[in-house]
Amino acid sequence: MSIFTVTHADTGCRARTGILTLGHGQVETPVFMPVGTNGTVKALTNDDLQEIGFSIILANTYHLYLRPGTAVIEEAGGLRNFTKWKGNYLTDSGGFQIFSLAPFRKITEEGAQFRSHIDGSYHLLTPEKAVEIQTILGSDIQMQLDVCTPWGAEKKEAQTALERTAQWLNRARVSWSNAAENGYGGSLFSIVQGNFFPELRRESAEKTLANDTPGIAIGGLSVGEPEEVFREYLHFTSCLLPDEKPRYVMGIGTPEYLLWAMEAGIDMFDCVLPTRTGRNGRVFTRDGPLSIKKAENAQSFLPIDQSCSCKVCKTYSRSYLRHLFKTREILCSMLASYHNLFFLHQFVLESRAAIIENKFMEFKNEFLCRYRNKRGEL
C-alpha cells in the first residue's frame, strides 16, 4: 500500500508537493523534520513544535537504545507515549552514529559491533535488531541499517559498503514484514549508497528498488564533500528513483541545501543544525546567518529578522538576545532554537507555495540572491 501521493509537480524543475499518509496524521511535503535525538528537540517543548506547525520529528535509535533503553520505552507504551509527542516519528537506524564511531566499531556481514559512548559496553546491531528496536519505539517511519562511507573513500570500500547495505536491506525487509504481520503499522525506508561513483550509485539504486519499500532515502551525501559535488550526486541519484515513492535526504538543514534538494525532487529532509547553531548564538535571517553574539548587536534593538513573524522576533531584540548569550542564560538557546525552526518551517511553506504556482526556480534564485549576498558563516 502506498503512503505517498504527489499533489503537484513544478513545470520548471523536478520540485513537487505531496502528502505522506502516516500512522499519526498526514504530512505535507516537502517537509523539514526537526531532530529530537534523545526523544526531545533540544531547548524546545512539544507545544513549541506543534505551535510552529511540525507534524513529524526524528528520533535517534542509537541513543534511545543505549539510554533509557528499549525496555523502559516498551513499558511506557512506545516512544510517543513516553515523550507525549502527538505527531509522527521517523527514527533512523543508528547506522550513521556507528559510522561516526569509526575507532570504536567493527562492521561484519552479521552487523555492526560498537562500543557505547556512555559506558564502553559492547553491542551488536544487526539489520534485524534495528527493525526490532524501531518497532518497539513505534516509529511511523523506520530506516534500514546501512553502511555509510565518507567523502574520499576508495571505490573498493564504497562497493563493499553498498553490497552490505543491500544484503542488510533484504534481511531488514523480512523482519519488517514479520513485524507488520504482528500488528506493527510503520513503514520501512531503504537507503541508496554508492559514495561518489555514478556506476555504484546506479547499482545501489537498482538493488534498493528491488525490495520495493514504501520510501527511499539517498544516503552518503553531506559527508564532507564540496557543495557542487553534493548537488551533482543528489540530482544524479534522485533521477534513478521512481516518482511514486517519497524521497528523503538525511542531514541537510540550511536554506541552500534544502532548495537544491527540493529542486531535485526531494520530499523530506532533517538536520540538527538549526537547534545546534541556535544554542551557539547563530540564527537564520533572509539576509544570511546572523551571529547574535557579535559586539555590533549590543545596542541593536531590531528583531533577529524584521520580516519574521515568530514570537521571538515579535518580542525580543538582538541586544537582549546577545545579553542572554553573554550571560549564558538558557533562555537564549530556547529563543534562538525556536526562531531557527520557525524560520525553516516558514521557508518550506513558501517553497511549497512556489512549487504549486510553478515558480519554484524563480523563488529559489531570488531567495539565494538575497541570502548569500550578505552571507556569514554558520
Which sequence positions are flagged as catalytic? 92, 270
Q: How far is CA 250 from CA 148, 256, 288, in A?
A: 12, 15, 22
Query: Rounded to an integer, what distance in angstroms lies between the CA atom of residue 261 and that of residue 263?
Result: 5
Q: Which residues of 197-218 are buried (b: 16+ CB within 10 A; e: fewer)?
A: beebbebbbebbbebebbbbbb
Query: Rounded to an integer, what distance in angstroms lies between the CA atom of residue 129 and that of residue 113?
Result: 12
For residue 259, the one-letter residue type is L
Cell of 59: 528520533
Cell of 305: 529578522
